[in-house]
Amino acid sequence: MNNAPAIFLGVFLVFASAWLGLIFAPYAQLSGLAPVVPAEGGDAYPRPLGGLAAQGRVIYRVNGCIYCHSQQIRSERFGTDIARGWGPRRTVARDYIYDSPHLLGSMRTGPDLANIGARQPSAQWHHRHLFNPTWTSPGSIMSPFSFLYETRKIVGQKSVDALPIPKGYPLADGYEIVPSDHAKALVAYLQALDHTTPLPEAEEQ
Ligand code: HEC
């Protein structure tokens, strides 16, 4: 008996239904998404990241922040993200139209960062936290990213970027710790993470 046509048809149907479900249906639903412009005027949302923040996104990727941090707020119906104060609303597909490759993350060893720019706008806080997480968050298990900072001799005046050093930290007199360009870009990216603009499709039914 020659089963070749039936096998071929079966294989074709398997691939066709996978393509329809995983490629075509999401494309038809989401490809038309565009930024929204508020009726009263003002900036469209979302917007592409600016220069320094866009560079910082690369630093976020290469340093593996995604292994411990997500960037997605779940609906009130599926978790406690909103109750924890991680954002005022759930995130939806439109929030990510410029986020490529997306950095949604799947692990939450640390808090969600989708709105960290709104929750913690201070650059100095971020620098101190990245240099040594326990300075701002006692008991933190986050890995320090002190290699993004430079310890150098103060020449003339102290730098305006120099980190305030806690008492007891072994830093020789006449030295300061300053952020590298990579650290500055990373913090610009963290400050730009803000998905708090209301979107109609994000409202809970
Ligand atoms: C090994 C896991 C781990 C990695 C890798 C990691 N973090 Fe964290 N992060 C944590 C934990 C745990 C906390 C909570 C304690 C704290 O605030 O330090 C945290 C907290 C934070 C916070 C404060 C969040 C808040 O809501 O207060 C920021 C911002 C942050 N991390 C940024 C980063 C960035 C940027 C990177 C990459 C350069 C990174 N983290 C890599 C585990 C991690």
CA-proximal residue: ligand 1, atom 5 (nearest): 65
How far away, in angstroms, is 68 Cα from ligand 1 center? Answer: 7
Of 37-46, 133-142, 155-164, the least confident: 37-46
Q: How far is the CA of 142 from the centre of ligand 1 (A)?
A: 5
Going by CA atoms, what residue is nearest to atom 43 of ligand 1? 142
Mean pLDDT estimate for the chain? 94
pLDDT of res. 142: 97
N-terminal to C-terminal alpha carbon distance within the chain: 56
Lowest average pLDDT, out of 38-52, 145-159, 183-197, goes to 38-52
- Atom 31, ligand 1: which residue's CA is nearest? 110
Residue 60 Cβ inside 6 Å of ligand 1? The answer reads: yes
Name the residue at shortest CA distance from atom 12 of ligand 1.
Answer: 110
CA of 34 to the centre of ligand 1 (A): 31
Q: Is 137 in the pocket of ligand 1 (CB under 6 A)?
A: yes
Bin 139: left if φ > 0, else alpha if -120 < ψ < 50, else beta: left
CA distances from 48 to 3, 51, 76, 89, 202 (A): 54, 9, 27, 21, 20
Length of the chain counted residue by residue: 205
Q: Which residue has the CA at smallest separation from atom 40 of ligand 1?
A: 65
CA–CA dist 104, 199 (Å, integer): 19
Rg (CA), the chain: 23
Assess whether pLDDT exceeds 80 at residue 1: no
Per-residue pLDDT reduced to its tens digit, 161-197? 999 999 989 999 999 999 999 999 999 999 999 999 9
- Give, in degrees to the nearest 5, the angle at Cα 108 between 35 and 84: 75
Dist. CA 21 → ligand 1 center (Å): 36
Token duo for residue 82:
């909103």
> Residue 149 — pLDDT band, cuts 50, 70, 90?
very high
Q: Check pLDDT > 90 for residue 83.
A: yes
Among candidate residues 43, 47, 38, 81, the one with its CA nearest the CA of residue 194: 47
